[in-house]
Amino acid sequence: MQNLLSDTHINEQLVGRGELMQEICPTCEKYSEVELINKNESYDIRGENIEVPVEFYLCHECGEEFVNPSLQKDPLNAAYRIYRQRHNLMQPEDIKELRKQYGLNQGDLANILGWGGATLSRYENGALQDNAHARVLNLIKEPHNLLTLVEDNPEVLYDGKREQLLDRLRKTEKDAFSLERIIEINFGENEPNEFSGFKSLDLNKFYNMVLYFCSVKGVLKTVLNKLLFYADFKHFKEYTVSISGMNYARINFGPVPNNYDFFYASLLKNKLLETEEEYYSQDVVGERFRSIKQTDLGIFSNTELNIITYVIEFFKKYNATQISNFSHEEKGYKETSTGDIISYSYAEELNI
């Protein structure tokens, strides 16, 4: 098989053989019967072994293996994406999105950061960031940090564009989602690890998940806690990274976002949510949340939106008791002590 990764390749393991079809083999140049083969290949990325699935064809005419470019994405790119997820490096599309969010081209952002334009271009085209550059990119995801950088360096942009950027950053900083700084002061930084789904806490995505789950008819707080848990853990199960980077704790009623009352209080205080009591009986009262602000779906990737939609559809007929009972059967819940944080390593055995 044509090796696309040269010296990064370590080993491969056949995991499945597929359907037969007719294709032109580039080796024997014949229109012959070929078989789709699936393998897991492991690559050494900065000293870390990362396994990714690879698909290729086996020609039954000459016995040679070949990759169909239309069939498979670059496995090196797939390995890089997993490495970035594990080490809290921004993905290329995230860097572009951050830049475009503030109306900046590559040269603008490179000047603000004091980098060469080629450096930023490489990162946006898939190169791995070095540690120092990765820290800077993660810092400027917080509008306050980017604002400080632009204010302290008046020469990096021409006056008109600089003022536009400063106005946009100051407005964004006042937005409710800049509460991340308050969260860090109260709870400390949520470092990417097995308890955060190898992602730093992204309050923007967490809050927008809450708003999405609470849209239309609203949702009971007990149900909301479970929907958030399943969205983050299901995405980790499928893509080895959580959506929001939230920690989930074990309590008697099932898994919940750690310190969830603080987060919900912030949303209520900033008039993004409203709440009303819902009576089950004379002695039992629940709390139903409804969104006031429209969800910003543009911040989610396609995989994140697909998982969130899947979770909503899966649990649409569950009431609070049923979804709580369902969550109690999760291995991660059963094997975690009350009050402790549930490891995302249990996502592999999630029941959805």
pLDDT top residue among 215 and 181:
215
Task: Give me the torsion for CA of 58, 61, 66, 70, rounded to 10°.
Answer: -90
pLDDT score, position 211: 96
pLDDT in tens, 15-72: 445 668 888 898 998 999 999 888 888 999 999 999 888 888 899 999 998 877 665 5
Sign of CA dihedral 103, 182, 138, 347: negative
Which whole number is the average pLDDT over 191-216?
Answer: 91
Q: Does the structure show a pLDDT above 70 at 189? A: no
pLDDT value, residue 204: 86
How far apart CA 212 and CA 214 sit, in angstroms, is: 5
The predicted structure's pLDDT at residue 18: 60
User: Facing residues of 56 across strands?
Assistant: 37
Amino acid 44: pLDDT:
93
pLDDT per residue over 121-172, tens digit each? 999 999 999 989 998 998 898 888 899 999 998 898 987 899 999 998 888 7
Q: Say what the pLDDT of residue 119 is.
A: 94
Q: Is the pLDDT of residue 13 over 90?
A: no
User: What average pLDDT does the segment 176-184 reach?
Assistant: 53
Q: Looking at residue 16, what is its pLDDT? A: 46
Beta bridge partners of 274: 290
Flag the least confident range among 11-20, 72-81, 192-201, 240-249: 11-20
Mean pLDDT of 307-322: 96
**Of the ranges 2-16, 187-201, 290-304, 328-342, which one carries the lowest mean pLDDT score?**
2-16
pLDDT single digits (tens) 160-179: 899 999 998 888 766 544 45
Tokens for 107, please give them: 């040269």
Give, in degrees to the nearest 5, the angle at Cα 124 between 189 and 95: 35
Distances from the Cα of 237 to the Cα of 75, 162, 197, 304, 352, angstroms: 19, 42, 10, 12, 10
Sign of CA dihedral 82, 83, 86, 88: negative
pLDDT of residue 15: 42
Give the chain's mean pLDDT: 86
Domain ranges in the chain are 6-73, 92-174, 190-349
User: What is the pLDDT at residue 321?
Assistant: 92
Residue partners of 229: CB distance under 8 A and separation at least 6: 248, 254, 255, 256, 257, 327
216-243 exposure pattern, b = at least 16 Cβ within 10 A, e = fewer = eebbbbbbbbbbbbbbbbbbbbebbbbb
344: number of Cβ within 10 Å:
26
pLDDT-based confidence at residue 282 (cuts at 50, 70, 90): low
| pLDDT computed for residue 67 by the predictor | 78
pLDDT of amino acid 283: 56
- Name all contacts of 325-328 with Cβ < 8 Å and 24+ positions apart: 326/226, 326/351, 327/226, 327/229, 327/230, 327/254, 327/255, 328/254
- What is d(CA 147, CA 133) in angstroms, rounded to the nearest whole number? 18
Q: What is the mean pLDDT of residues 329-351?
A: 96
Tokens of 223: 């149900």
β-sheet bridge partners, residue 55 = 38
pLDDT on residue 5:
36
